[in-house]
Chains A and B, each alone.
Chain A
């Protein structure tokens, strides 16, 4: 309510610079503690030092470990808070909404657990918590932001691999960082999700990666599924007309 008189806040986001991630998982822990996210099982996966595996209803920050021949890659994944968010588009109850910070949040008191957002997300982020029945994901610490605080993961990150701030500023900072890395000979560095021209209109949480996105479990060219929805409704309209026509044909010549 305090913001009613003020102008709309600028869009904020995360810039996760994986080139300085040390894989400490402080972000995972801080997220769980602040948001009261339940246990996701402490499992040794026997693939790497990754215990959580992937983002899900009970894992809102996930640190990926990739052991390559000459190096380790580490990256803290999170909900992308897309400009064109499929989860929000397809939510039938309005439980998913866009906040004043241009982030995407589930209202737990509205969600009826229909599960439609789950296969809609092109990043495989949101999931249904089966023992609770509702869909859950990162809120970018909506409550902390309302109180003027940065999200718990960014606050806890000891190397500033996770940076929080106005999205415009983060994009400038990321471009400068990329230029610096290229100048230093790290030719494989690339930004992921920073462009407003990509298939989701740009992510609110974007990354600097040191390998192809798919190596980190990220889709190489995600597109919001609802981009094709007008076309889909047209095809459905055609099918509906065909159905009526077919039924009419069934009764032609058999009038009693």
Chain B
């Protein structure tokens, strides 16, 4: 019956001894598929942050960057919606997402946000492409600068609001991780689609976003104990390591990318690849976290024991005697 004593000996977290039902998971792992879910998480963040960039660029007179960001915001929301529908077990019922609005369900909040954001970014893009109703198009872009930040951050709550220990334990940092990654992605897309002379704000966004994402990831690594282990191990660990390296390299390159097209391409592509690795890594870590009963049982056992020590004394010699 004794399980545990597995895992990587190089990990600094002490090995936990615990009991389980033949080593089987307590939780069901997330059923979301690759590449649908992680690519949606990337595209949703890209679209959300790009819409804020589009609005700021429009205000400050960076017209070519504003156009590129507007198109990116629309493309990200459109492609992302398609992936979300394909991810459903019953895609033909995707409209049931708009049957109710529930603030207790981050997926409900996200669906409504995506519906509104998708509409606004489509209007903004259509106006820019056709030249029709420019004022309405600008208004749509301004409005999408309000839905965009929700798009870029709700996904952190989406993952954290589960029983998956690695996700739930990282609930404070997760929205910052996704926001930073989204900002870096939008900066990278802006760099790659705008002439260098006008892409300076995109390069700053790429660098700032990379800093924000890396900082949030480092805090998750420091703050989480046993629950954070899946972020360092196996396939998830490799993806997160790759993400860290790509994001940092891309962010550093962004600071000098104004000098050449090659540097711009290298920085933009590295950041984009890093952002994708982050999303694939988070999903892989969540699955690994749910599948090993250690991460469910040990923290809960510690919590229950701690509470019992200060609890009512009438349980003495009673049901909790081992």
A interface list, Cβ under 8 A from B? 45, 47-48, 53-54, 56, 64, 66, 68, 86, 89-95, 110-116, 118-128, 130, 132-135, 178, 182, 187-191, 212, 214-222, 225-226, 228-229, 231-233, 235-244, 246-251, 254-256
Contacts and interface: CB of A to CB of B under 8 A. Distances in A.
B107 A119 contact: no
B89 A115 contact: yes
A202 to B, nearest CB: 16
A221 B304 contact: yes
A225 B318 contact: no
B56 A247 contact: yes
Contact of B61 (A113, A114, A256): A256
Contacts of A47: 22
B208 A250 contact: yes
Contacts of A130: 31, 89
Given A93-B99, A115-B31, A247-B56, A133 B88 contact: yes
A191 B178 contact: no
B179 A86 contact: no
B26 interface: yes
B28 A121 contact: yes
A225 B163 contact: yes
Given A215-B1, A226-B104, A246-B212, A113 B26 contact: no
Given A91-B102, A92-B105, A110-B99, 4 more contacts: A235-B173, A243-B152, A248-B56, A250-B53
B230 interface: no
A219 B105 contact: no
Contacts of B158: 116
Contact of B317 (A91, A187, A251): A187
A190 B162 contact: no
B107 A92 contact: yes
B201 A250 contact: yes
B26 A217 contact: yes
A246 B103 CA distance: 27
Contact of A244 (B97, B149, B171, B301): B149
Contacts of A250: 53, 56, 187, 201-202, 204-205, 208
Interface of B: 1, 18-22, 24-32, 49, 52-53, 56-57, 59-62, 87-91, 93-94, 96-97, 99-100, 102-108, 111, 145, 149-150, 152-154, 156-158, 160-164, 167-168, 171-176, 178-179, 182-183, 187, 198, 200-202, 204-205, 208-209, 212, 286, 290, 293, 296-297, 300-301, 303-304, 307, 317-322
Contacts of B100: 92-94
A111 B107 contact: no
Contact of A56 (B28, B97, B198, B304): B28
Contacts of A215: 1, 19-21
A231 B185 CA distance: 26
Contacts of A90: 104-107, 161-162
Contact of B21 (A86, A113, A127, A216): A216
Contact of B319 (A86, A91, A123, A189): A189
Nearest to A210: B319
Contact of A221 (B94, B111, B290, B301): B301
B151 to A, nearest CB: 9
Contacts of A122: 27, 163
Contacts of B149: 240-241, 243-244
The 8 A-B pairs at the shortest CB distance, nearest first, are namely A113-B89, A133-B89, A190-B319, A217-B21, A240-B149, A239-B175, A112-B93, A92-B108
Nearest to A191: B319
Contacts of B152: 239-240, 243
A118 to B, nearest CB: 5
Given A249-B204, A256-B62, A235 B171 contact: yes
A116 B105 contact: yes
B304 A220 contact: yes
B198 to A, nearest CB: 8
B157 A233 contact: yes
B194 to A, nearest CB: 13
